[in-house]
Amino acid sequence: MAHHSEGLTKAEVSDVEHLLKTNTVLFKFATPGTISAVAQGVTKKTFAKNDVLIEQGAPQNEMFIMRDGIAERTRVEGSGAEKVIRQFGSKETKATTGGLHFLKGDKAYGKLKCISEQCVAYSLSGAYFKTLLENQPSVSVDAVYGLQREVRSSSKPKQRTSLGMQKQTSAQSPVVATSVAATVESFYRSALNAYINAHLTGSPVSKLFPDMHVQIPMRVVYINGTKGTRAWLNNNIDPRDYSAPTLVSTAILLAPGLSMTPMSSVLEAANAGHKNPEPLKTRWMRGLAARAVREIIFAIGLNQAADYCEERVPVQVENGLLRNTAGSLTAGVLAGYFSHVPHNLSALKLMTPSKSYLSLFHEYASSNEERLPKHWSQQQKQTVARVLGVVAPKAVMTRTVQIIGTFVLLNGIIYSLRDISPF
């Protein structure tokens, strides 16, 4: 291994400290004192093109941090063929190599060779690092913690569950936290519903907060029911105990939304009294079928999809509330978008119960014709307008914003107040 070694200038020491902090697993979360101590044992090595930095199978006694140039790692397999594994040192990778082998001279997995005209690397010997570990406990703590974080990061994807398989973390749904969240969210939801209905009908916005003496208690019961039903099913029914586990899993997924559809219908009817003069006891049943589809999407989004998205927030985001918010926001975008057609149909059916779902869809889709080129034929306009009625109808943004806010408010407040007990 031909190379030229030399000590570091003050500027290079600063460079090494930065690279140790940003590009190595061992020292990513180390204190400035640890970084400084490690940097003191680093030397700079220069390699010419085709020089070998690490030989496959040889004891690996040093860790390299590539500064300039590109080195390529290859491995000879059992067949004798040399396989290129990856490259180190380009601006894209800024990689470190050898950090998991150099402490006790473990055999190198592959060969590392300089493939650019010149490679400059910072080298940390295993012997020096071992001395630090033995004599400075703080260095050991920082290094172990860095490895812990790396293990946690790499194992996180393996712990992720597929959509629909999420389990509520607590055995019971926190009633107090959920009730507070539902009360706050009911005002937000009511105001947004008023704007959505105005978009659909072309009428001015009516009352933002109608019949709140009905809406608030019903919303509290509805959200507690959605969360509580999920918790009860998780705790009492195991699909693996049945001959058709997939069917049972599907039923568990659908049940919270279906069971709460009547509650949602009363809430919806409370907002539509100005359009449908029927008494509330009759009005709530209008649009029930489309509303059930919407409630299934809502419940899956609020429960499983929010958890699913939260699981996939990068592990670097450690704050629980931020992770909860990010998961709820993402799930809200999805649920808001996919629920807009059943929501629109249920709202229109509630306001004009004498019309069929098909005629209501054609009516609200036809309003998209004004968005299309005037030289198109009427048949073209009708076809495209109906596609837009599904893909990008009026009020879709308002509806999506409503669901995003609902998910963030509900899940965020429940998360923040989850430990409050009424007893």
Of 1 and 386, the structure prediction assigns the larger pLDDT to 386
Q: What is the pLDDT of residue 423?
A: 47
**What superfamily does domain 4-159 belong to in CATH?**
Jelly Rolls (2.60.120.10)
Lowest mean pLDDT of 39-48, 108-117, 264-273, 283-292, name the range: 264-273
List phi, psi (to 5°) of 87. Answer: -115, 150
Domain residue spans in the chain? Answer: 4-159, 175-417
pTM over 0.85: no
Over residues 239-243, mean pLDDT: 83
Q: Are 348 and 342 in contact (CB under 8 A)?
A: no
Over residues 80-90, mean pLDDT: 79
Task: Indicate whether 76 pLDDT > 90.
Answer: no
Q: Exposed, middle or buried, 108 (CB in 10 Å: 0-12/13-18/19+)?
A: buried
| Rounded Cα distance, 275 and 277, in Å | 6
Over residues 170-178, mean pLDDT: 75
Q: What is the pLDDT of residue 49?
A: 93
Task: Indicate whether 2 pLDDT > 70.
Answer: no
SS3 state at 24: coil
Q: Are 26 and 143 in contact (CB under 8 A)?
A: yes
Q: What is the pLDDT of residue 259?
A: 92
Q: What is the pLDDT of residue 249?
A: 87
Residues ≥6 apart with Cβ < 8 Å to 315: 149, 152, 153, 156
Report residue 193's pLDDT band, with 50, 70 and 90 as the boundaries.
Answer: confident
In the numeric block, the tokens 């105001």 are attached to 191
| Rounded Cα distance, 179 and 223, in Å | 8
Over residues 83-92, mean pLDDT: 74
| Rounded Cα distance, 53 and 112, in Å | 5
Q: In what order do the strands lie in the sheet with 118-125?
A: 4-6, 42-48, 118-125, 62-68, 96-97
Of 177 and 156, the structure prediction assigns the larger pLDDT to 177
Tens digits of residue pLDDT in 220-239? 998 999 998 988 888 788 88
Task: Indicate whether 158 pLDDT > 50.
Answer: no
Q: What is the pLDDT of residue 128?
A: 93
| Rounded Cα distance, 50 and 337, in Å | 55
Report residue 129's pLDDT band, with 50, 70 and 90 as the boundaries.
Answer: very high
* Tokens matching residue 249: 């899993």
User: Taking all residues of the chain, what is their mean pLDDT, rounded to a whole number?
Assistant: 84
